[in-house]
């Protein structure tokens, strides 16, 4: 974990795992899609438990849990998949019950481009995920969320024109100071230097740590024994 190659190795392993699992499964799912280690599967309701037990029998160290459809809907990543009465599928944005709808506050000390990104990303996600039936409600929700966070609702323009190739520019990262570095960024832009702004340090970063560090009592390697018989070093 933490290594740059971890996602690649994990994906290779899961591809091999699911190939073995699907070839030997007692029933073939009518629909099976996976993203990293999350799968979305459509099976007859009386075959779900048997299929789960089969997956968990492939490798003792790889154990799956399942979440079943409830109220004709099932969440997969940030998409809520909805089964319609005519057996067609609808979809809208999914948010956990614990989601607070808190984003960057429009009055916070951030560069305007960073504040504008919040609204753009929420609107793009709504238009990319929602079907025509649920899009209007999601857009209204996004507008209300932006208003509550004192952010502006951006205007997204769609164009079929191919954008001309741009010359690669040298990047520069500046601490954002309202009225100062934004002017510097404008000057750098004219010199073909692409400017990125980062928020200033928080007050907590200037204050010393109030936690007392306990020095090591003895030099050496510490070992913790587990009830399972393994040790942690």
Instruction: Specify the pLDDT at position 185.
Output: 86
Residue 160 has pLDDT above 50, yes or no: no
C-alpha 106/C-alpha 119 separation (Å) is: 11
Whether residue 61 is predicted with pLDDT greater than 70 in this model: the reply is yes
d(CA 181, CA 187): 10
Greatest mean pLDDT among 86-95, 179-188, 191-200: 86-95
pLDDT band of residue 1 (cuts 50, 70, 90) is low
pLDDT of residue 188: 86
Average pLDDT over the chain, rounded to an integer? 86
* Residue 8 DSSP SS3: helix
Mean pLDDT computed over 177-194: 85
Kindly give, in sequence order, each residue whose CB lies less than 8 Å from that of residue 20, ignoring residues fewer than 6 positions away: 58
Query: What is the C-alpha separation between 210 and 213, in angstroms, rounded?
Result: 9
> Looking at residues 126-152, what average pLDDT do you find?
95
pLDDT value for 220? 61
Q: What are the pLDDT digits (tens) for 92-138? A: 999 999 999 999 999 988 888 889 999 999 999 999 999 999 999 99
CB atoms within 10 A of CB 65: 6
Percent of the chain with pLDDT over 90: 49
């Amino acid at each position: 974990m933490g290594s740059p190659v971890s996602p690649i190795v994990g994906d290779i392993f899961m591809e091999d795992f699911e190939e073995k699992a699907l070839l030997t499964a007692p029933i073939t799912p009518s629909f099976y899609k996976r993203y990293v280690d999350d799968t979305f599967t459509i099976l007859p309701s009386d075959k779900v438990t048997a299929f789960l037990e089969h997956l968990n029998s492939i490798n003792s160290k790889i154990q799956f849990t399942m979440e079943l459809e409830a109220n004709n809907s099932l969440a997969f990543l940030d998409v809520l998949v909805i089964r319609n009465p005519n057996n067609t599928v609808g979809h809208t944005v999914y948010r956990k019950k614990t989601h607070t709808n808190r984003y960057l506050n429009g009055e916070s000390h951030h560069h305007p481009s960073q504040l504008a990104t919040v609204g753009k990303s929420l609107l793009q996600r709504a238009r990319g995920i929602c079907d025509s039936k649920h899009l209007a409600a999601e857009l209204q929700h996004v507008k209300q969320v932006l208003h509550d966070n004192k952010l502006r609702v951006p205007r997204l323009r769609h164009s079929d024109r191919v954008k001309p190739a741009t010359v690669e520019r040298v990047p520069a990262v500046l601490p954002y100071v309202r009225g100062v570095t934004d002017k510097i960024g404008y000057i750098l832009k004219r010199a073909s230097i692409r400017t990125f702004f980062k928020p200033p340090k928080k007050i907590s970063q200037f204050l010393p740590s109030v936690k007392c560090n306990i020095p090591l009592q003895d030099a050496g390697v510490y070992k913790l024994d587990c009830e399972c018989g393994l040790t942690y070093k």
